[in-house]
Amino acid sequence: MLKRSKVNIKKEKSLISYINPKSMISEQYRTIRTNIQFSSIEKAYRTLIITSPGFGEGKTTTTANLGIVMAQQGKKILIVDANLRKPNMHFIFKTENTIGLTNFLVKQTLLQETIRKTKIEKLDLLPSGPIPPNPVELLSSDSMKELMEMALEEYDVILFDSPPVNAVADAQILSNSCDGVVLVVNSGKTKKETGIKALESLKSAKAKLLGVVLNNKKRKGDLYYGM
């Protein structure tokens, strides 16, 4: 019973911008949202990738909360779980993942059949769907371009949660089709050399890096998120 309670607490913290919008961490997510908006004065960034150098550095939680604070601003947001290797977004939003992105990309379903409503107003989720044997091919397919075009007709901003950039090529592939990239690093986990490698990988892919989010940085007893 104790183990289950800990899991539930962890899931609640993943949506802190919804659970506790007045918290210090929620305010930092709003700061990240504002910084993205200020970096796109001439042209609005509508398709964004959130990635990290390695695993467990907070990119999925960052994607979820960034989507929440954008939706709280009145924009219609779609979060796409583009991590076709180890998807987690459906766990955070407590929804099923039997069909999703992969089903649309191989033309098994229509887009509207794969999108899930969340409990946050104006925020929808496109889960990953079944894990495929060929993630790179699917993410670089014409179907992926079609998905972006169709989704942009309905949503103001699309956030893609991608696998770590140092682990696989998925984030680099997606970055060629999206307006910008946000890199998430963990103060207590990300090593300097792995962070530099991630930046170099994104640069080689000609990605537009909008900024770096530093999380898990202790400050006055709380967690700090900044960009």
64-92: per-residue pLDDT in tens? 999 999 999 999 999 999 999 999 999 99
> What mean pLDDT is predicted for residues 45-72?
95
- Dist CA 166 CA 199 (whole Å): 9
> What mean pLDDT is predicted for residues 117-126?
97
Residue 35 scores a pLDDT above 70: yes
Residue 102 scores a pLDDT above 60: yes
Q: Using 50, 70 and 90 to split pLDDT, how confident is the model at 50?
A: very high
Q: What's the N-to-C CA distance of the chain in angstroms? A: 38
pLDDT of 10 reads 47
Compute how many other C-beta atoms are within 10 angstroms of the C-beta atom of residue 209. Answer: 14
- Residues spanned by the domain of 36: 2-226
Q: Using 50, 70 and 90 to split pLDDT, how confident is the model at 227?
A: low
> Six-digit token pair at 163?
């696998």
Residue 9 scores a pLDDT above 70: no
pLDDT of 189 reads 85
* Nearest in space to 227 (alpha carbons), one of 44, 27, 60: 27
- Cα→Cα distances 7→3, 56, 94, 100, 201, Å: 7, 16, 13, 25, 34
pLDDT of 1 reads 33
Least confident segment among 10-19, 28-37, 74-83, 171-180: 10-19
Least confident segment among 50-54, 134-138, 207-211, 220-224: 220-224
Please name the residues in contact with 35: beta carbons below 8 A apart, sequence gap of 6 or more: 210, 211, 227
- Dist CA 117 CA 215 (whole Å): 28
Do residues 151 and 111 touch, judged by C-beta distance below 8 A? yes
Q: Residue 150 sits in a domain of what CATH number?
A: 3.40.50.300
User: What's the number of domains the chain is made of?
Assistant: 1
**Mean pLDDT in the chain?**
89
